[in-house]
Structures are given as structure tokens and as C-alpha cells.
Structure 1
Amino acid sequence: MKKFHEILLLIGQLNYTWTNTESLLIYLIAGLAKVDKETAIVIFLTLNTTRARLELVERLAKLEKTPLARRQEILAVTQQLGREGKLRNKYSHCIYSFDETGDQASTQLMSIFDSKDTIKYGKIEQIDDSEIARINEAIEQIMRINKEIWAIVERYSFPR
């Protein structure tokens, strides 16, 4: 049962770290759109997917009025966040399965893969030690992204 608890705690930490960091997009929206924080919160909450929120920040950053260095910094951080989001999405949108001892764990993905004439669904993957290390690394990366976003907010005096 030790592995069972370890994995659940790790997935909880991944989701908490992600959510905390994704919410920082509010400050990037505020700064890039030149609106107050309250308005940026409304915009953020109106866009109900991470992809939409990231696309908005990227599009605002790409506006001609955004200085090149700032644009590059923001695009670099949104691209990093997008990459880390793939693993987070996997673990947020799957079914978990543990053996009777709680020591063997697997995920079953809840998505459909269409080919020309068949479909596949429910891909099963083991959560082994290398996958646990991958999740830990993702958490570390997301924490670094969090710090990078705060640094951008501070450097450019975005609304807080």
C-alpha cells in the first residue's frame, strides 16, 4: 500500500503545482492586455481550457506592441508550460488501477485514437519507477516555470 499512497500524493502534488502555476497566467494577461487584475481574472475564468489561456497569452505576446525581448521571454515560458501540461493532462484525465497490494499501479487513458478504419481506446500504461521519476521532474519543471512567470511579472511591473 506504500506505493498506492506515494502515487496518489505525487499526482496530487502535480495537480496542485500545475493549478497554482496556471493561475499565474492571470498576471501575464493583465500585463500584456494592459488591464487590471480583476479584469484579467474574468478573462482567465471565461476561457475554460488551459490551451485557450495559453493561446491568449501567446497571441497577446505576439502583438507588435510587445517588445521583442518580452515577447521571447513570455513565449518561452508558455511553451514550457504547454510541454509540461501534456503529462499533467495524462494524469488528470485517466483511470488509475492498483493491484490488491497497492504496489503495482497503472493508468488507463480515457481518449479515443482514430485510424483509417478502426478505433483504439483505453491505452494502459504502468506507473513504474521511471514514470514516477518523470512525474517528479515535471513537478520540478512546473515550479521553475512558476518562478519564471513571477520574475517576468516583477521585471515588467505587470498588475498584481
Structure 2
Amino acid sequence: MVSSRLPPKPDFDAIAASAPSTADRRTQILALIGNLVSSWTNNESLFIYVLMILLRTTQESAALTFATLNTTRARLDLIQRLAKIKITDKNLDKALSKLIERFNESTAVRNEFNHCMYIVDTNGQITHTQSMRIVQTKESLQFGEMKPMDDARLKSMVKATKDMTRINREIWEFLPRLEEHLLSTEKRPS
């Protein structure tokens, strides 16, 4: 008989019976994940306005262009390429690059919680995440890193959400500067 390589099936009845005792912590973790995801999504959506300004088009046309590109990376690549040909102010271009860089850093955090398996113990407590990312080294392939959902990790999630809030405010501050710059460059005689 061949032994299975599958992990043991969880005792779902025992987990369900114990889950109420860990509900507060689980709710806290799920709320932190929700805050991360909604903050990231709001920030990504603000890049529609950057695209709208760079393309000198309507919000609807910019949103259509944005949605047609099926990855965040493709959307940001388009914005960066347009910026290279449209933005002549080096400081403004540098500010956009910095915003995109910081947004990309937040994307890594968002992906960490969107693309993982949540490990629960027999009490229904979320104890770990297992990344769905394949890590390839010279010697081997490894299936995702496992990380504890301890207090330090929860604190890092709060910090990441605060960082995303700052990025959001900075994008809002950046938008009128970008718009003003492009309007002023259009008025200049060639």
C-alpha cells in the first residue's frame, strides 16, 4: 500500500466547536487583512487619475485603458513610459517614480496576504500563513515560506496599512502638481 503524502485532514467538527473561543483574534487578523487589501486597492485605483492626466483624456477613458491592462505591473509600466515622454520636470518625474516604487513595496505586502494559505490550529486560531510562491534556488524548488501570525506580524500589518495611507495622501498631493505641469507644458510654444 502506498502511503499518502497529503497532510492529515483537519478535524473540522473540533475546530468549529472551539472556534468561538478564538473569534476575537481571528476577527482582528481578518480586519487587518481587509484594511491592507482595501488600502492597496484604493491606491492602485488612484493611478487611473495619473493615467487620465498623462493621456489628457476623460476619467472613463483612463479607467477603460487601466482595466484593459490585466496586471498592476502592466498598468504601472504604461504610466512610467508615458511619464518619460510627457513629464519634463525632473523633480516631478522623480516624485512619480518614488510613489510607484513605494506602491510596489506595498504590493508585496498585499500579495503576501492575498496569495497564501491560512493555517489554523485545532481551536480555529490562525497561526501561520503559507506563501503560494515557489522559491527557486540553485539546489532546489521550495513551496512557499511559512510565517507565524504572531503579535509582531500583526504590528507589521498595521504599519503597512499606515504606510499605504501615507502613499494615498501623497498621490492625492501629486495629482494637481502633475496636471499643472502638463497644462503649462502644453501652453508653451514649441
Return the TM-score normalized by structure 2. Answer: 0.76
State whether structure 2 residue 62 is matched by structure 1 residue 69: no
5+ unaligned residues in a row in structure 1: which ranges? none
Deviation at 1:111, TM superposition (A): 1.7
2:63 maps to which of 22, 35, 41? 41
Deviation at 1:104, TM superposition (A): 4.9
Contact 2:131 2:143 in 1 (8 A): yes
* Higher RCO (CA < 8 A, seq sep 6+): 1
Deviates more, 1:65-74 or 1:86-95: 65-74
Q: Give the Cα separation in 1 of the matches to 2:91 and 2:115.
A: 36
**Structural mapping, 1:101-140, within 5 Å:** 101-140=123-162
Deviation at 1:117, TM superposition (A): 4.5
Q: 1:8 to 1:65 in 2, by over 3 A?
A: closer
Q: Give the Cα separation in 1 of the matches to 2:126 and 2:133.
A: 22
Q: Give the Cα separation in 2 of the matches to 1:79 and 1:104.
A: 31
Give the RMSD, CA atoms, in angstroms: 1.7
Contact 1:3 1:102 in 2 (8 A): no
State whether structure 2 residue 122 is matched by structure 1 residue 100: yes
Deviation at 1:60, TM superposition (A): 1.8
State whether structure 2 residue 104 is matched by structure 1 residue 78: no
The one-letter code sitting in structure 2 at the alignment partner of 1:149 is I
Contact 2:32 2:157 in 1 (8 A): yes
Counterpart in the other structure of 2:113: 91
Percent identity of the aligned residues? 35
Contact 1:61 1:75 in 2 (8 A): no
Q: Give the Cα separation in 2 of the matches to 1:105 and 1:62.
A: 45
State whether structure 2 residue 77 is matched by structure 1 residue 55: yes
Question: Which secondary structure does the structure 2 equivalent of 1:96 belong to?
Answer: strand
5+ unaligned residues in a row in structure 2: which ranges? 1-21, 181-190
Return the TM-score normalized by structure 1. Answer: 0.90
Deviation at 1:64, TM superposition (A): 5.7
Q: Give the Cα separation in 1 of the matches to 2:53 and 2:38.
A: 24
Over alpha carbons, which structure has the higher Rg?
2
Deviates more, 1:140-149 or 1:52-61: 52-61
Q: Give the Cα separation in 2 of the matches to 1:135 and 1:60.
A: 33
